[in-house]
Structure 1
Amino acid sequence: MSSTAITLPAPSAPSAVWERGCPVDELEPGWGEALLVRMKQIAVFLLGTGEVYAVAHRDPATGSNVMARGIVGSKGDRPTIASPLHKQVYDLGTGECFTDPRLMLGTYRTRVVGGFLEVELQP
């Protein structure tokens, strides 16, 4: 008697969802704003270049929700945010911490649709 293996398709992973955050024209360049999107606290930053970044509002070093009050800057051509509490500096695009490699700041992809900032969230 021979057996035949049946290969079933792998279950598809739920896709990411784009959620509307706020009108882009309500963001001030160089300053952070805190958003609550699907019960997630997110800090968003509009840079002078027109780019918009979104990161976790929770400071990885302290657990406090303060990153929207951080200091926007750059390291070379990489935009950064410094925590307002202990001044750890994070890459806004990757979440990498320049001052303590053990820390990582969550990041979110962003886009602008019809004048509104949208943030990509995983289900």
Structure 2
Amino acid sequence: MVQALPVRDIITTWVNVCPLAAIAPNTGVCALVAGQQVAVFRVGQATDVYAISNYDPFSKAFVLSRGIVGDRNGIPKVASPIYKQNFNLLTGQSFDDENVKIPTYQVRVVSDRVQIAIGEVL
């Protein structure tokens, strides 16, 4: 008989990054969250925010927060400021190379504060 492994709980902690007003519409900022550089983007005038790794695997530099925000067929994206590769802000998938995907992070706005989720497995 095979015993089932115990289910582990994931505890999510939300980390305050900045006020929403600190991110101009259609731009990004970089934040250090749990030791990782995270690029946080505000798309449009509302509270639509996305968070991905700030590391651009094509240029091997931490620059994505300085990229050009836009969309591709209605999907929010950022173009790297160096070689202009495009990344899907929802999934981190490169639009230019199907073999490249960067990490994404849960992000929300609470009381006009941008927050990033970090999780721990118990």
Query: Quick check: TM above 0.5?
Result: yes
In the alignment, what sits opposite 1:41? 37
Question: Percent identity of the aligned residues?
Answer: 33
User: How far apart, CA to CA, are the structure 2 residues paired with 1:81 and 1:6?
Assistant: 47
Within 5 Å, which residues of 2 pair with 1:19-34? Answer: 19-34=15-30
Distance 1:105 1:7 in 2: 36
User: In 2, Cα distance between the equivalents of 1:106 and 1:9?
Assistant: 27
Q: Cα–Cα, structure 1 residues 13 and 60, in superposed 2: closer, same or farther, change >3 Å? A: farther
Does 1:91 pair with 2:91?
no
Against the structure 1 CA distance between its residues 75 and 10, is the aligned structure 2 distance closer, same or farther, given a 3 Å change threshold? same
The 1:6–1:98 alpha-carbon spacing in structure 2 relative to 1, beyond 3 Å, is closer
Match of residue 68 from structure 2: 71
8 Å CA contact 1:61–1:103 kept in 2: the answer is no
Q: 1:120 offset after TM fit, Å? A: 1.2
Aligned partners of 1:104 and 1:111: how far apart in 2? 22
* 1:60 paired residue number: 57
- TM-score (normalizing by structure 1): 0.86
What is the match of residue 110 of structure 2? Answer: 113
In the alignment, the residues of structure 1 paired with residue 96 and residue 7 of structure 2 have an alpha-carbon distance, to the nearest angstrom, of 40
Cα drift, residue 62 of structure 1:
2.8
Q: Could you tell me the TM-score, scaled by structure 2's length?
A: 0.87
Greater Rg by CA: 1
Q: Counterpart of 2:112 in structure 1: which amino acid? A: G
Give me the whole-angstrom Cα distance separating, in 2, the residues matched to 1:79 and 1:63.
Answer: 22
What SS class does the counterpart of residue 61 from structure 2 fall into? coil
Alpha carbons of 1:16 and 1:62: their partners in 2 closer, same or farther (altered >3 Å)? farther
Structure with more of its chain in strand, by fraction? 2
